[in-house]
A and B are shown apart, each in its own frame.
Chain A
Amino acid sequence: MYSPKLLCHLRWLFEVAGRGADRLSEAPTHPHTIVLFKKATYLWLLFVLLLLLPAAPHFWGPEAYVLALPADSSPVGSALTVMNHPAMVPYWPAFLIGQFAALLLGLSGHCPRLAAIAVFFFTKNLQARGWVVMNGGNNLVELMLLYQIFMAPSTGASRRGTLGTLNNVVTNVAFLAARCQLAVVYLVSGLAKLEGALWPRGVALYYVLNTDEYTHPWGRTLASSDLLVALGTYGTVAFMLAFPWLVWFRKARVALLPVGALLHLNIAFLMGLVDFGTVMLACYTVFFADRWSKAVLRAVWPTGVVLVEAPRSAGEQALYALLRALDWRGALQVTPRDEAPPGLALQGPSAQRALLARLPLALPLVGLYAALDYVGLGRTLARLVPLPSECRVVRGLLPRAT
């Protein structure tokens, strides 16, 4: 009745599906990419917050030139538009401070789930209040923040067992949802452009670059070339229609992401939609292979410090205890000399004593570097102005996510 060949195919299909299911439930498939994706999104939000800060009262204050939309009546909606409630209007700075604190918490890597919820809450409220100046990029980031709440790529022992397995499943599927979301944006956008009047005729870019508010003097020069206008218009549509399919192939992705980055940099600087252009770049990190993300994280947020010898004297042990108390992320290790990685090792007790003596001097400088680390500039500054070794050690112990 049943063909043996069909049964064989079905068995193969079940085996493949089973292996896929096991992979999704055993561990987060892209732990480093998730961390990088979250950090890129938080950095973008921090950038926009700092960009708008000088004119913040115009967008969010009691005298803002933006009409407050009525607060959403649903339970979830009302929590996410609480800033629109007339009673909350005087407290608008609290939302900015809350957003800033939530972003720093998220960037530090502590309490990732709590940070993700807080960032989502404050972002939704701020964007709902200043809706007139928000664009598609803000819409996209709201969606990505929602997916990020469900991504917790911890691989520690606490994540084993039933809860750990469920966490892995939820994390991996939320991560896939974020990838699908970006693909859907391009697919719908590409199809909508095909339905329009200007894109199929190859002249859309001419109008974009001749509209005052979406152009730059250089843009008008580019728009005077028919060839560039046609290439730019058709190239944009072709990219948008190709992205949702090709991005799933790793080799194609290597070419696709830089092309997309170029397109969005044009949108950011030529068209002047800086936030929209750059948020797309931040969201591209969701398509990074995990080893790319690991390399980026190591470059921007270097890992901790290794003590080559165990502390022996009472003073060394006291110092070690102090460092352990500072070491929230487990960056401090004690390792035999022959196993110490180069560049991260604090050699011997003498260095520890030196550190103890100069700790009060080192801490303020380290604090500055750590603050810059949060916005991704610490390493750049460290290249320009190298830190003394004891500062490097303390800095290595400060909270950072890897």
Chain B
Amino acid sequence: MKTILRRFAVAIALGWLVWHVLAILLHQGPANPLKSAAGGAVKRYVHPALIDQRFSMFAPEPSTSSLKFLYRYEVEGGAWSSWRDAGAGLLADHQANRFSPKGHLLWMHQGVARNLVRQMAEIDAALPAALRGPPRTRELHRRLMETPDYALARRYVSDLARDEARRSGGGPVCRVEFLYAAVACVPFSQRSQPDAAQRVEYVKFPAASVFPGP
């Protein structure tokens, strides 16, 4: 291959590399004049299916609270169980042995809750501002219960509840209820105060009949 052509090929390839690195930097970087100018081209270039650069890759701000997804169930006869945390066992197993799928099962367990909360926030934002109080909550729950995220959470919790009821010798499960809780870490500034309490925020989801299963 002639030297001139070879060098031309190298120049083209390096030109692409410079554009590629610039594009992914602009895609992830904060707003700036260059990003505004080239935003459209960058967005088209950073193809979501091929070179998507999700923010999780860059390990952003750490979480300041532990996520819990609790459930309880009602057995035939009307008795509700206490709230159970299926994530606690997964977490303990994951901390005892890092080479098991328990960590991923824990992310999955939390993912069910996280997606449900996100869905709820989206529905809430779409509701008219004039709708307030109990009617708003009722409408929010009604719409939430129609979403695939809720159906998935219901199926997941139903399976957990059935297993738990079977193990503890309880009767057939007829209803399940679940909640998302964020248990905040003790703030750094209060870490040495013996009476510092952990703040807990929770979102309770509407109860549902158990998802049919074995």
A interface list, Cβ under 8 A from B: 18, 20-22, 24-25, 51-55, 58-59, 65-67, 72, 74, 76-77, 80-81, 124, 132-133, 135-137, 139-140, 142-143, 146, 161-162, 165-166, 169-170, 172-173, 176-177, 180-181, 184-185, 187-189, 191-193, 195-199, 203-204, 206-208, 210-214, 216-217, 268-269, 272-274
Contact = CB atoms under 8 A, between A and B. Distances in A.
20 contacts: A25-B6, A25-B7, A25-B10, A51-B100, A66-B108, A77-B50, A132-B112, A135-B56, A136-B57, A140-B57, A161-B1, A165-B1, A173-B14, A180-B21, A187-B25, A189-B58, A206-B188, A207-B64, A213-B66, A217-B95
A76 B47 contact: yes
B48 interface: yes
B62 A208 contact: yes
B177 interface: no
- By secondary structure, the B interface counts as helix
Interface string B138-168: 0000000000110010011000000000000
Interface residues of B, number: 68
B99 A274 contact: yes
B63 interface: yes
Contacts of B87: 213
Nearest to B27: A188
B29 interface: yes
Contact of A132 (B10, B107, B183, B185): B107
Contacts of B155: 65
B210 to A, nearest CB: 16
Given A59-B108, A184-B24, A204 B62 contact: yes
Given A24-B10, A25-B6, A213 B49 contact: no
A272 B54 contact: no
A213 B91 contact: yes
Contacts of B94: 272
Contacts of B55: 192
Nearest to B151: A67
B152 A65 contact: yes
Contacts of A124: 49
B25 A188 contact: yes
